[in-house]
Amino acid sequence: MQEQGQTTMVFNITDKAAEEILKVAKENSIENPILRVRVVPGGCSGFQYAMGFDDTVEETDNVFEHNGVKVVIDQFSMPYVNGAELDFVVDFMGGGFTIRNPNASGSCGCGSSFSCG
């Protein structure tokens, strides 16, 4: 959880997500991983999530840490993911990261984009 001014910003990272982020970082020889989560315009529902490792934390980023993992979210993206949870799930089709987002009012059939409203 992070305090920004008087507004509390929340972004949760599950134990499984943190474990998988550290695993991917190790496989790619990344020490002290910083995972950047962004919301970008696009997709059939209006917005998409973008995730990737970053080398820096900007002064205006929201920073969340869990089990040795640092996740940063920029100011534009934060209102769209405030209160969301990053998880790693495995099902019969494989495994992958997912964001459970209470701000999303809808999503596309393929699940790769969302809308807020």
Q: What residue spans define the domains of the chain?
A: 2-116
DSSP code for 46? S
Calpha distance 39→74 (Å, rounded):
9
Instruction: Identify the CA nearest to 81 among candidates 59, 65, 103.
Output: 103
pLDDT digits (tens, 9 = 90+) for 42-87: 766 678 889 999 999 999 999 999 999 999 999 999 999 999 999 9
Which fold, 2-116?
A: Hypothetical Protein Aq_1857; Chain: A; (2.60.300)
Name every residue whose Cβ is closer than 8 Å to that of residue 94 and which is 6 or more positions away in sequence.
none
CA–CA distances in Å: residue 111 to residues 23, 39, 58, 60, 98: 25, 14, 29, 29, 10
What pLDDT does 104 receive?
78
What pLDDT does 105 receive?
65
pLDDT digits (tens, 9 = 90+) for 6-48: 468 899 999 999 999 999 999 999 999 999 999 988 766 678 8
What mean pLDDT do residues 91-104 have? 84
